[in-house]
Amino acid sequence: MELLVSFIVCFIAGIGAGLGTGFAGMSAAAAISPLLITFLGMPAYEAVGIALASDVLASAVSAYTYGKNKNLDVKNGLVMMVTVLLFTMVGSWVSSLVPSTTMGNFSVFMTMILGVKFIVKPVMTTKESMEALDAGKRIVRSILCGMLIGFICGFVGAGGGMMMLLVLTTVLGYELKTAVGTSVFVMAFTAFTGAISHFAIGGMPNLWCLAVCVLSTLLWARIAARIANKANPLTLNRVVGVVLVVIGVAVLGVNLLS
């Protein structure tokens, strides 16, 4: 019975994470971490490690799909990636020193706030405005923003991918689909670094939960990415926003009742 419950929770977590990743470059931890922490009683550090590991293949397959549809900027994404990778390891180390309850509450809070943002204020940047920013300024901003994003991704995972999406669209002027494609491209490497750091520091997680989360997230990310490249930006924003808010409210409700 316990194995069945774990499967159901992990599969549902993978659905939320996969849809979020494929539609808007969301870090899998925004969906997976709160559910594993709340419904399975898993230590937050272990849950984040599983979420980051789930992010690797899901982000990679999403990036491939966006790249096939010419919605991926590899050149500028590499600049941000280096900084993000370095600070992901720093964030992972810091998170090992923080109480589990703090990390779990932060995950739930970030999930709800990001969901509301995408519903209320969708990202509607165009490709024309994306090309208007000076290349030099874009590099400097990529480095500074990459430091913050990498630390957050390593610290708790939640918000890393979504913050990258916000940075690419608002600070660096990317249009939505190119921003999502570039975001998942960077997140594939960031998540890999974060997962390795978590496993090296905290040891291997529950392998059953890891396998189910990875496969479920990969499946739904593939489906979402294919749909996203054919959908309009407003629909993408609304769908991801609703998914995040529903997950956040559900987890918060369980926390209040427990």
What is the residue type of 33? S
| Residue 246 vs residues 111, 115, 160: alpha-carbon distances, Å | 9, 9, 19
Half-sphere exposure of 162 (CA within 13 A, CB side): 28
3-state secondary structure 231-257: CCHHHHHHHHHHHHHHHHHHHHHHHHH
- Which pTM was predicted? 0.79
The pLDDT score that the predictor gives to residue 84 is: 80
**Whole-number pLDDT of residue 237:** 76
Cα 177 from chain centroid (whole Å) = 16
Q: Which amino acid is at 117?
A: K
pLDDT given at position 125: 64
Please name the residues in contact with 218: beta carbons below 8 A apart, sequence gap of 6 or more. 14, 18, 54, 57, 58, 61
Encode the chain (258 residues) as per-residue pLDDT tens digits.
678 889 999 999 899 889 888 887 777 777 788 788 878 888 878 888 898 899 999 999 999 999 999 898 887 788 888 888 788 777 777 767 766 545 555 656 766 776 787 788 776 666 666 666 677 777 887 888 888 777 776 676 555 666 777 778 777 778 878 888 988 998 888 788 778 878 888 788 889 999 999 999 999 999 999 998 988 878 877 877 787 787 677 767 656 655
User: What integer pLDDT is reported at residue 61 of this predicted model?
Assistant: 95
Q: CB–CB of 30/192 below 8 Å?
A: no
